[in-house]
Each structure stands twice: as structure tokens, then as C-alpha cells.
Structure 1
Amino acid sequence: MIKEEYYSEITARFGEVKRARGTFLYTEKGTRLTDMYLENGRAILGWGNGNGTTGTGAFLKIKNIINRGLTGSFETDFAKQLDKAVSDLLRAECRALVYFDTDKAEKAALSFSKRLVKYVPWVGLVAGDNIVHDFECVLITPPLPWTDNLYVLAVRNDITSLFYPEHVSGAILGGLSRSIYDLIAELPCREEKDWFIFDTYLKDYFARRGPYLFPTMSEKNYDDFVRHCLECNLAISPDYKTPSIVPYGADKGVFTLLKNNPWKA
């Protein structure tokens, strides 16, 4: 199911989303949906200003920078802040490049390295299906649920090549930096014990790796399962190849409808 069709399905069933907080979406018809898609992982820290962490959150950071008028394409010190944020995340001195297009980001990554390495929170560095421990550059999907085509490419400082960064406003750079530091703060707070407590309800439908849920049914049946989950007030990933995410901070009661009405192919 494509994302546009998925969101139309949610609107048709529940009305428009009026509020989002933590791992929940609150709709026009008064339904609380448990969001297990989380904007393809961009909202993995949770919806809302605090992004589920202590501190002020990335969106307050963006608001404060906008109030300073730093929304143009001129250079600001927030580029250096983003460099430091990705360096702290990856524990290596890196420069951060920002892209607003998936293809451009991946093409740039492959200009620095023969393999495409991605950073996956609570998993690490992944190239294809393999976890790796070294890199020339890393493609990061920032935990900033603002837009679905914003990427950060972290390139090691000792990689010599020409850089062609896109012009990005200080507000976006500052928000990206803060979102990455929010993630760094949250990484040690979530552990296996926070995810396996839901296995009883999900093991018949998913194989779990850390907080990520990979469907075990055939791809041809997946759209039917997505719709069944919506009937149970669960908004899972609409894409068979994109994992759903364990709803950190939710209680087991969010799976009661699915437990009482199990899906059958």
C-alpha cells in the first residue's frame, strides 16, 4: 500500500488527525490510534515538541531560530553544530551534508564509498542486510518528523573529495542538530526489555529485531493485514518492506482489540 493511499484510508475511517503526541494519533472522530509507522521512523522518538526525551526538543529549537530570522540560505554556525552532532553520534570526526531528495543523498553517498551504509537507531551501521563497523560515509534519516525527504550524509573528515552541499537554512540545520542530540540522549534509555514485553501480542505477525517489526505473512496478504490493524486502532507501516516499530511508552492494552480479533490470512 502506498503512503498516500494509507493516509487516505486513515482519514476515511477516523477523520483527520487533530493531534499527535508520543506514539499516538488523535483523530477527528475521537479515536486514538497507536502509531507504529511513525513517519517511516522519523518520529521514532515520539510525536510532540519534546520528541519523547528530556529537554526542549527540536521543534522548539527551530521556532527559536526562526524568531531570529535565520531562515535564509546564507551560512550560519548551525552547519558546524550539525557537524558536531553527527560526529558525536557516530564517534568519528565527520562533516554533515544535507539533502532533500533520496536519490541525491544515495548518489552522493556512493560517490564517497562503494557501499551504502545507513545508520539505524538501536541497531547501528547497516549495509544491505549486514551490520558493519567501519565507514567512509553514513546516510542518516534524522529523527525529525518534519518532512519525509530530508537526509543527512555524514562523511568522515579524512575522506578527501569535493563537497557540494545544498543550501539549508539555519533553522533546519539547528533542528537537525537538536534531533540528533535528542536521539543520543535516548539511545541508552531504551533496551530489549522495553520491546519484548509486546512480543506476546505481535509474535504471530512479526519477526522483531530490536524495536523493528518485520512482517512474517506473505507480501500479497499484507495490505489486508494493514487494514485489519486499522480496525484494531493500530497504524502499522503501510509498506511491506518497511518495518513497523514497537510503540515505546504505550501499555499492553493498545493491543487488546488485535488480541480479541486476531488476523487470519
Structure 2
Amino acid sequence: MITEEYYSEISARFGEIKRARGTFLYTEKGVRLTDMYLENGRAILGWGNGNGTNGTGAFLKIKNIINRGLTGSFETDFQKQLDKAVSDLLRAECRALVYFDTAKAEKAALSFSTRLVKYVPWVGLVHENEIVKDFECVLITPPLPWTDNLYVLAVRNDITALFYPERVSGAILGGLSRSIYDLIAELPCRGEKNWFLYDVYLKEYFTREGPYLYPKMQEKDYDDFVKHCLSCNIAISPDYNVPSIIPYGADKGVFTLLKNNPWKV
């Protein structure tokens, strides 16, 4: 199921989303959906995006920067803040380049390296599904549920190359840097003890790797499972190849409907 069909399905069933908080979406018809898609991982810290599932750190910072009028394409000190944030995350001195297009971000990455290395929270650096330790550059999907096509490319400072970053407002740069620091703060707070609690409800349908859930059923059956989960007030990833995510902090009772009405092919 493509994303557009997925959101149309949600709207048809529950009406528009009126509020998002933590790992929940609150709908026009008064239904609370447990969000396990989390904007393809961009809301992995929760809707609100700060320390914990209900924080608002990054968006508060964006608001404060906007109030200072720093929304233009001129240079600000927020680029340095973002450079430091990605350097602290990767534990290597890096320069952060921001892109608003997947293809541009990946093309830029491959201009610095022969391989495309991605950063996956609670997993590490990944290249073609294999964990790696060294890198020339790393593509980061920021934990900022603002837009689905915003990427940060961290390039090591010891790489000699010409940089052609896209012009980005200080508000976006500041929000990105804060979201990455929010992630850094949250990394040691979540682990296996938080994720395995949900296995009893999900192990029949998913293989879990850390907080990420990979479907066990065949791809041809997956759309039916997505719709079944929606009927149980659970919004999983609409894409068979994109993992769903454990709803950190949610009460296990959110899976009661699924437990009482198990899915069968």
C-alpha cells in the first residue's frame, strides 16, 4: 500500500487527524490510533519530538528562531550547531549538509563514498542491511516529523571535497540540531527491556530487531493485515519493506483489540 492510499484509508475510517501526541493519533471521530509507522521513523521520539515521547524541544526551538526572524537563506550560526550535533551523534568530526530530496541526498553521499551508509537509531551505521563501523559520510533521517523529504548528510571533516549544500533557514537548522540532541539523550534510555514487553502481542505477526518490526506474512497478504490492524485502532507501516516501530511508552492495552481479534490469512 502506498502512503497516499494509507492516509486516505485512515481518513475514510476515522476522519481527519485532529491531534498527535506521543505515539498516538487522535481522530475526528474520537478514535485514538496507536501509531507504529511514526512518519517512516521521523517521529520515532514521538509526536512532539523532544526528550521522551511527549517532548516539544525541536519545535519549541523552531518557534523561537522564527520569532527572531531567522527564516531566510542567509548564513547563521545554526549551521555550526548542526555540524556539532551530527559530530556528537557519530562521534567523529563532521560537516552536516541538508537536502530536501532523497535522490539528491543519495547522489551527494555517493560523490563522497563508494557506498551508501545510513544511520538507524538503536542499530547504528548500516550499509545494505549490514552494520558497519567506519564511514566517509552518513545519511541521516532526522527525528523531526516535519516533512518526509528532509535529510542530513554527515561528511567527515578529513575528506577533502567541494561542498554544495542547499540553502536552509536558521529555523530548520536549529530544529534539526535540537532533534538530534534529543535523540542522543534518548538513546541510552530505551533498550530491550522496553521493547520485549510487546512481544507477546506482536511476535505472531512480526520479527523484531530492536524497536523495529518486520512482517512475517507474505507480501501479497500485507495490505489486508494493514487494514486489519486499522480495524484494531493500530496504524502500522503501510509498506511491506519499511518496518513498523514499537510504540514506546504505550500501555500494552492498546493491543487488546488485536489480541481478541487475531488476523488470519
Tell me if TM exceeds 0.5.
yes
CA contact (8 A) 2:49 2:143 kept: no
DSSP-derived class of the 1:98 partner: strand
CA contact (8 A) 1:229 1:258 kept: yes
Amino acid corresponding to residue 164 of structure 1 in structure 2: Y
Q: How far apart are 1:129 and its partner, in Å?
A: 1.1
Please list the CA deviations of residues 110-140 of structure 1 after superposition, one character each: whole Å capped at 9, or x if unmatched: 0000110000000000001100000000000
Amino acid corresponding to residue 200 of structure 2 in structure 1: T
Q: How far apart are 1:50 and its partner, in Å?
A: 3.6
> Are residue 4 (structure 1) and residue 4 (structure 2) matched?
yes
User: Match for residue 120 of structure 2?
Assistant: 120
CA contact (8 A) 2:22 2:47 kept: yes
User: Match for residue 42 of structure 1?
Assistant: 42
- 1 CA distance for matches of 2:54 and 2:239? 31
CA contact (8 A) 2:50 2:179 kept: no
User: Match for residue 65 of structure 2?
Assistant: 65
User: Match for residue 144 of structure 1?
Assistant: 144
User: Match for residue 19 of structure 1?
Assistant: 19
Runs of 5+ in structure 2 lacking a partner? none
DSSP-derived class of the 1:225 partner: helix
Please list the CA deviations of residues 157-195 of structure 1 after superposition, one character each: whole Å capped at 9, or x if unmatched: 001111000000000000000000000000000010100
Q: Give the % identical residues.
A: 87
TM superposition score normalised by structure 2: 0.98
Amino acid corresponding to residue 39 of structure 2 in structure 1: E
CA contact (8 A) 1:70 1:171 kept: yes
- 2 CA distance for matches of 1:249 and 1:31? 19
CA contact (8 A) 1:53 1:185 kept: no
Residues 195/78 of structure 1: CA separation in 2 closer, same or farther (3 Å cut): same
DSSP-derived class of the 1:154 partner: strand
- 2 CA distance for matches of 1:81 and 1:243? 31
User: Match for residue 161 of structure 1?
Assistant: 161
| Over 6 Å off, 4+ runs | none
Amino acid corresponding to residue 236 of structure 1 in structure 2: I
Q: How far apart are 1:53 and its partner, in Å?
A: 6.0
CA contact (8 A) 1:34 1:234 kept: yes
What value does the CA root-mean-square deviation take over the aligned residues?
1.1
> Are residue 210 (structure 1) and residue 203 (structure 2) matched?
no
DSSP-derived class of the 2:194 partner: helix
Please list the CA deviations of residues 185-240 of structure 1 after superposition, one character each: whole Å capped at 9, or x if unmatched: 00000010100010011001000000000001000000000000000000000000
Amino acid corresponding to residue 97 of structure 2 in structure 1: L
Amino acid corresponding to residue 167 of structure 1 in structure 2: R
DSSP-derived class of the 2:40 partner: coil
TM superposition score normalised by structure 1: 0.98
How many residues align structurally?
A: 265
Q: How far apart are 1:54 and its partner, in Å?
A: 8.7
Q: How far apart are 1:51 and its partner, in Å?
A: 5.6
Amino acid corresponding to residue 64 of structure 1 in structure 2: N
Q: How far apart are 1:56 and its partner, in Å?
A: 5.2
User: Match for residue 239 of structure 1?
Assistant: 239
Residues 137/219 of structure 1: CA separation in 2 closer, same or farther (3 Å cut): same
Residues 53/181 of structure 1: CA separation in 2 closer, same or farther (3 Å cut): farther
User: Match for residue 88 of structure 1?
Assistant: 88
Runs of 5+ in structure 1 lacking a partner? none
